[in-house]
């Protein structure tokens, strides 16, 4: 994208009257209008984070996780058709993001000391009003050790110290997570160059920052700089030399696969060109292209055979690793099972335990029987009362049935009386008498 695209982005976000305040040297507002000062700082912070997190293509740079002091002021300089605006307060914004919010960190400090991932460091972050205002947008605090960093040169024009990059920690975490996902499993190792190719990260600077963050700060991956490989931390069963061999094999497969894909595309393109030459009756050129195509196809077939061999080796290595996992698991669980069985292997002690357990069950049953028999005496009165209640309920039922039958009979008689037979000669009402039609004359 061009600088013009960034200018359109900024002009769409802010009104003309707002631009004058944002692009001015608003440091004096800290004493005279603290609310205005905080509003300008917050507006620039929101813009910076939105640019890096959602519109990094507008920054017109290869790096996607940082902003560069050498180009930032120039990139933010805009013209609204009337005036040209050059920011004079950017250094105050960056200082606040570094020292207070800890949403950015200078690269010069990032390479020297690990980022603190534990939260608030000695109460240094997350406590400002601006931080609380931006918290829903930038997410949880992500602290580092800086509290008194100055990004500006000291000049009143807001110019920044040269050759400094400011890494956005939220974007660093996001890109690092995507990079880690390129390493598929605990037994996979990748050459750093191979990992960079797989990651689709735009710049080597971004890649190096992510590698340092994952290996030094979060400890999620391990990096062997001497061997030039990276692998997931924990659960490794292979030595460094074995991991290097696995990484070399993976890179060889990747290289051959890339070559085969490119060569296949060349052959396909050449086929189209040959057809065009044949249609144009340029037979000599068509023959020449056919010879080239045959050479390419031969190379492609040879490379495919090599690729299949390497992939077969990779599959067998993975199968052997899985077998080793199963064997080690069986061995450890077999030993555990043996130890547990040894604890209960004394048959005489086990028989004695079971016999005593059986005796106690019999005693419990006997006690329960005796306690249950306490309520079995003197139930004659209860039985007689129960029989009387049952007889009373039966009588009530018979009376209810007789009443129901009588009511049904009465109802039928009444319905029969209500029935009436129609009269033998029923005359239609006058208004419904049929109209006599005149006879037709012969």
pLDDT digits (tens, 9 = 90+) for 309-347: 999 999 998 888 888 888 888 888 888 888 877 777 666
Q: Is the predicted pLDDT of residue 437 greater than 60, yes or no?
A: no
In a domain, 429, yes or no: no
124 & 13 share domain: yes
For residues 25 and 157, state if they share a domain. yes
Do 12 and 118 reside in the same domain of the chain?
yes
Average pLDDT over residues 118-143: 45
The reply to whether 321 falls in a domain is yes
Q: How confident is the model at residue 143 (pLDDT cuts 50, 70, 90)?
A: low
**Does residue 153 sit in the same domain as residue 47?**
yes
Q: pLDDT band at 419, cuts 50/70/90?
A: low
334: three-class secondary structure by DSSP: helix
pLDDT at residue 176 above 50? yes
Residue range 187-211, pLDDT digits in tens: 789 999 999 999 989 899 999 999 9
pLDDT at 168: 93
| Residue 304 lies in domain | 240-330
Which range (5-19, 105-119, 124-138, 183-197) has the least confidence? 124-138
Within a domain: residue 344?
no
Residue 41 to residue 34: CA distance in whole angstroms: 11
User: Is 60 exceeded by the pLDDT of residue 353?
Assistant: yes
Task: Give yes or no: residues 165 and 35 share one domain.
Answer: yes
Indicate the residue among 310, 330, 350 that finishes a domain: 330
Q: Which of 169, 199, 221 is the last residue of a domain?
A: 169
Nearest CA among 197, 213, 215 for reference residue 107: 213
Segment 217-222 mean pLDDT = 91
Percent of the chain with pLDDT over 70: 82
pLDDT at 140 over 60: no
Burial of 2 (0-12, 13-18, 19+ CB in 10 A): exposed
Report the number of distinct structural domains present in the chain. Answer: 2
Residue 154 lies in a domain: yes
Residue 48: inside a domain? yes
Does residue 432 have a pLDDT over 50? no
From CA 228, how far away is CA 193, in angstroms rounded? Answer: 8
Task: Please give the pLDDT value at position 116.
Answer: 72
- Do 44 and 161 lie in one domain? The reply is yes
Residue 135 lies in a domain: yes
Asked whether the whole model's pTM tops 0.75, one would answer: no
Same structural domain for residues 16 and 133? yes
What are the distances in angstroms from CA 115 to CA 104, 142, 169, 211, 219? 11, 8, 9, 13, 12
- What average pLDDT does the chain have? 82
Q: Among 306, 330, 354, which residue terminates a domain? A: 330
Residue 130's pLDDT is 45
pLDDT of residue 414: 73
Which residues lie below 8 Å from residue 266, measured CB to CB, with a gap of 6+? Answer: 296
Mean predicted confidence (pLDDT) in 13-22: 88
Q: Where are the beta strands (DSSP E) in 80-201?
A: 84-85, 104-106, 165-168, 189-191
Query: Does the pLDDT of residue 122 top 60, yes or no?
Result: no
Nearest CA to 125 out of 99, 163, 88, 155 is that of: 99
Label residue 297 by pLDDT band (50, 70, 90): very high
Same domain, 29 and 123: yes
What is the DSSP pairing of strand 189-191 with strand 165-168?
unpaired
Token pair listed for 2:
């061009």
Q: Is 295 found in the same domain as 147?
A: no
Domain membership of residue 66 (yes or no) is yes
d(CA 181, CA 22) in angstroms, rounded, equals: 40
- Asked if residue 27 belongs to a domain, the reply is yes
Average pLDDT over residues 105-125: 70
């Amino acid at each position: 994208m061009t600088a013009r695209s960034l200018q359109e982005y900024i002009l769409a976000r802010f009104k003309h009257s707002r631009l004058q305040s944002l692009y001015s040297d608003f440091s004096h507002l800290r004493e005279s209008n603290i609310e205005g000062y905080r509003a300008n700082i917050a507006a620039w912070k929101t813009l910076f984070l939105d640019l890096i997190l959602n519109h990094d293509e507008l920054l017109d740079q290869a790096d996607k996780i940082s902003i560069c002091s050498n180009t930032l002021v120039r990139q933010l300089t805009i013209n609204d058709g009337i005036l040209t605006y050059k920011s004079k307060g950017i250094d105050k914004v960056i200082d606040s993001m570094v020292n207070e919010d800890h949403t950015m960190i200078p690269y010069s400090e990032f390479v020297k000391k690990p980022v603190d991932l534990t939260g608030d460091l000695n109460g240094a972050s997350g406590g400002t009003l601006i931080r609380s205002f931006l918290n829903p947008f930038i997410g949880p605090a992500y602290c580092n050790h800086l509290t008194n960093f100055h990004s500006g040169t000291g000049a009143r024009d807001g110019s920044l110290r040269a050759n400094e990059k400011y890494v956005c920690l939220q974007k660093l975490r996001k890109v690092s997570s995507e990079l880690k996902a390129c390493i598929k499993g605990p037994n996979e190792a990748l050459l750093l160059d191979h990992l960079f190719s797989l990651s689709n990260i735009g710049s080597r600077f971004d890649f190096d920052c992510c590698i340092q963050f994952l290996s030094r700060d979060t400890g999620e991956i391990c990096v062997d700089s001497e061997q030039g490989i990276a692998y997931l931390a924990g659960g490794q069963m292979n030595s460094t030399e074995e991991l290097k061999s696995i990484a070399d094999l993976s890179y060889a497969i990747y290289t051959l696969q890339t070559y085969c894909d490119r060569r296949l595309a060349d052959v396909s393109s050449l086929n189209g060109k040959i057809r065009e030459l044949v249609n144009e009756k340029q037979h000599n050129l068509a023959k020449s292209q056919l010879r080239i195509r045959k050479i390419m196809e031969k190379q492609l077939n040879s490379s495919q055979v090599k690729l299949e061999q390497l992939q077969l080796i990779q599959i067998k290595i993975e199968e052997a690793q899985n077998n080793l996992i199963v064997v080690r698991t069986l061995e450890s669980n077999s030993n555990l099972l043996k130890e547990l069985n040894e604890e209960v292997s004394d048959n005489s002690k086990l028989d004695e335990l079971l016999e005593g357990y059986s005796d106690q069950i019999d005693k419990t049953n006997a006690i329960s029987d005796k306690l249950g028999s306490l309520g079995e005496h003197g139930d004659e009165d209860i039985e007689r009362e129960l029989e009387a209640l049952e007889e009373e309920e039966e009588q009530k039922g018979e009376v209810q049935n007789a009443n129901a039958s009588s009511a049904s009979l009465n109802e039928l008689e009444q319905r029969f009386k209500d029935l009436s037979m129609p009269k033998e000669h029923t005359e239609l009402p006058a208004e419904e008498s049929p109209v006599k039609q005149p006879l037709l004359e012969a």
